[in-house]
Structure 1
Amino acid sequence: MSSNLSFFDLFLQASLLVQLVMLLLLATSVVSWAFIFQRTKVLKQARTETKKFEDKFWSGVDLNKLYQELSARQSVQGMASLFCAGFKEFVRLRKASGTSSEAIMDGTYRAMRVSLSREVDNLEANLPFLATAGSISPYIGLFGTVWGIMNSFIALGEVQQATLAMVAPGIAEALIATAMGLFAAIPSVIAYNRFSNQVEKLENSYGNFMEEFSSILHRQTLSQKVESI
């Protein structure tokens, strides 16, 4: 009996609609796991790069030297991107004649805010898919379950004498659809919550750096203003 109720046999015996539901859930699960592995790598790299940049930034390195070093790279991401955007705008506005210290700091902060928005968008890439998969997969599986059970009872009503063996395959294929929905949903929900928490922590770290870096640059503008007086 177990051979008759194997997963592959149940899939082949299922109705076309239930087969489509199973294939959709299988594809959703495969894509979700691909995004999970990809986001795990990206967020781990972001945390590592943030730690390295913070250690170097707070080691007392010259800001001009640090900016030149980062600008020489082909791509700059994370906290380093915020630093480059802010420092570049700070230097540009400071060289402009007649620019007040308030205008310099406002422009610098806006440049870092734009960079922060881009970085957060990159970190959150593919997370909406995980959230959607975790939300709707159980309902898709439930739809397959309802359809399979409905077909089983329709077939049951067409015979004179009903037995468990007659309805067991239909009910089994229906329950497999539900199981596949949960199989696709549970990892997606867990991964989404975990990744969202990590993105939030990184965003807080970026925001704290923006405030601290802005304070450093503001002190530089004030000191230069005093020297000019």
Structure 2
Amino acid sequence: MHGPDLSPVGLILQAGPVVQGVMAILALASIACWAVAIEKAILLARLKKEVQRLQDTEAQHSGENLAARLHRAAAREWSEGREAGESRGEYRERIERAMRDVLSSALRGMQGGVPLLATTGAVGPFVGLFGTVWGIMGSFQGIAKMQDTSLSVVAPGIAEALLATAIGLVAAIPAVIAYNRITLRFGRLRQEALAGIAVVGARLSARPPRASRAAE
């Protein structure tokens, strides 16, 4: 006579519908988080190159990449020249503000999916714990029906329940790590981009395209 199958696959197949549902939700969340983490890793690598190109005066700034869009925003303000009574500092701030607006909009678009990592990291263990509690409740109900508290009766139900918590942790831990790393890298690249914007603003404001409008 074979005992109960205590392998992970066997425990999943033997679990009740509620526990299986919890496991399925956590597994899907984990897959989605890994997809977001990989996509953001690729995106951040591309963003780093764009930030490095921002200060490159020799680079071609055509196309729809971020560096080109930032330079076009700066060029539009620069081509307007200084307003009547506008100081060089105000002129520079206007150029930089146009670039910062483009940067902020681009970064917001790039961070889609990142909240999923935070949500999974925060909620995943509790969802797994819910599955564990539900599974243990089912085990106790089975014990009450069978009037048997032997380990062979109790172990499978408890193992199924604890597997839900384990899957919750497997989903949550990588999500938290990925969220922290991605958020940190976005923050650093934003600071580097702002530094580049300051350099571009200083360079353009030092050579306005024409004299102030007050002199025209």
The question of a shared fold, defined as TM-score above 0.5 by the shorter chain, is answered with: yes
Question: Corresponding residue for 2:37?
Answer: 36
Secondary structure in 2 aligned to 1:187?
helix
| Cα distance in 2, alignment partners of residues 160 and 195 from structure 1 | 53
For residue 26 of structure 1, what is the amino acid of its counterpart? A
Q: Which residue of 139, 164, 170 maps to 1:152?
A: 139
Deviation at 1:126, TM superposition (A): 1.4
Contact 1:123 / 1:199 at 8 angstroms: preserved in 2? no
Question: Corresponding residue for 2:118?
Answer: 131
Contact 1:85 / 1:115 at 8 angstroms: preserved in 2? yes
* Aligned ranges 1:144-223 → 2 under 5 Å: 144-221=131-208
For residue 206 of structure 1, what is the amino acid of its counterpart? A
Deviation at 1:146, TM superposition (A): 0.6
For residue 96 of structure 2, what is the amino acid of its counterpart? Y
Contact 2:139 / 2:157 at 8 angstroms: preserved in 1? yes
Q: Cα gap change, 1:53/1:3 in structure 2, threshold over 3 Å: closer, same or farther? A: farther
Determine whether 1:140 maps to 2:127.
yes
**Cα displacement string for residues 66-108 of structure 1 (whole angstroms, at most 9, x for unaligned residues):** 6xx423x2x121x4432221222221x22x8857346644432
Q: Cα gap change, 1:53/1:207 in structure 2, threshold over 3 Å: closer, same or farther? A: closer
Determine whether 1:70 maps to 2:48.
no
Contact 2:128 / 2:168 at 8 angstroms: preserved in 1? yes
| Cα distance in 1, alignment partners of residues 4 and 156 from structure 2 | 12
| Cα distance in 1, alignment partners of residues 48 and 99 from structure 2 | 19
* Highest RCO, 1 vs 2 (Cα 8 Å, sep ≥ 6): 2
Percent identity over the alignment? 35
**Cα displacement string for residues 169-192 of structure 1 (whole angstroms, at most 9, x for unaligned residues):** 110111110010011111111111
Q: Which residue of 90, 94, 106 maps to 1:119?
A: 106
Which aligned segments of 4 or more residues in structure 1 are displaced greater than 6 angstroms? none
Deviates more, 1:127-136 or 1:109-118: 109-118
| Cα distance in 1, alignment partners of residues 116 and 72 from structure 2 | 31
Aligned residues: 212
Deviation at 1:53, TM superposition (A): 4.0
Q: Cα gap change, 1:126/1:161 in structure 2, threshold over 3 Å: closer, same or farther? A: closer
CA RMSD of aligned residues (A): 2.6
Name structure 1 gaps, 5 residues minimum: none
Q: Which residue of 74, 84, 95 maps to 1:86?
A: 74
**TM norm structure 2:** 0.87
| Cα distance in 1, alignment partners of residues 83 and 140 from structure 2 | 83
**TM norm structure 1:** 0.82
Deviation at 1:168, TM superposition (A): 0.8
Contact 1:14 / 1:170 at 8 angstroms: preserved in 2? yes
Determine whether 1:110 maps to 2:97.
yes
| Cα distance in 2, alignment partners of residues 161 and 126 from structure 1 | 48
Deviation at 1:153, TM superposition (A): 1.2
Deviation at 1:217, TM superposition (A): 2.3
Secondary structure in 1 aligned to 2:61?
helix
